[in-house]
Amino acid sequence: MQSPAATISDYLATLPGGRRQIVEAVRNVIVANLDGGYAEGMQYGMIGYAVPHSIFPAGYHCDPKQPLPFAGLASQKNYVSLYLMGLYSGCTEENETDEVRWFRDAWAASGKKKLDMGKACVRFKKLDDVPLDVIGEAIRRIPAQLYIERYQAGLAAAGKGGRTSRKA
């Protein structure tokens, strides 16, 4: 469910108290572990974390006007979604990446509620169900330059051609 909010503050203000608490806690962990090559903002009607055009001018291949999405955080109708495109980058129908396998194992080892994950989307209903340290480590493990390299490799492998980036 996309929000029409233009700012993160506006987005958070629209959430009911319990849901806002969950989103703010996960957001704080993301921001605390986010590489400086990413920027936080509203993207696709949710809180987004992306590689800005100043670092990756080509933008997102599906919509080059958009910065390259890395992660997203959204309050949906029945749960909160955390989109971890950085983990999923490089996965195929047959194979998960080492990052996804690490994430699944770390979540299971946390003793929290069973992971509800589909491709890049992690779903949860309560903050107690989320191993925040695992979320933080997942964000920290993929700095922007590594993500750009994996993204370009994925495009090249799919026959869409890699695009060049420039470091900030």
Residues 78-121 pLDDT 10s: 999 999 998 877 666 667 778 889 999 999 999 998 999 988 89
Amino acid, res. 149 = E
Assess contact for 49 and 72: CB atoms under 8 A.
yes
Q: What value, to the nearest 5°, has the Cα angle with vertex 135 and ends 110 and 26?
A: 115
pTM, rounded to two decimals: 0.89
pLDDT digits (tens, 9 = 90+) for 5-47: 889 999 999 998 899 999 999 999 999 999 999 999 999 999 9
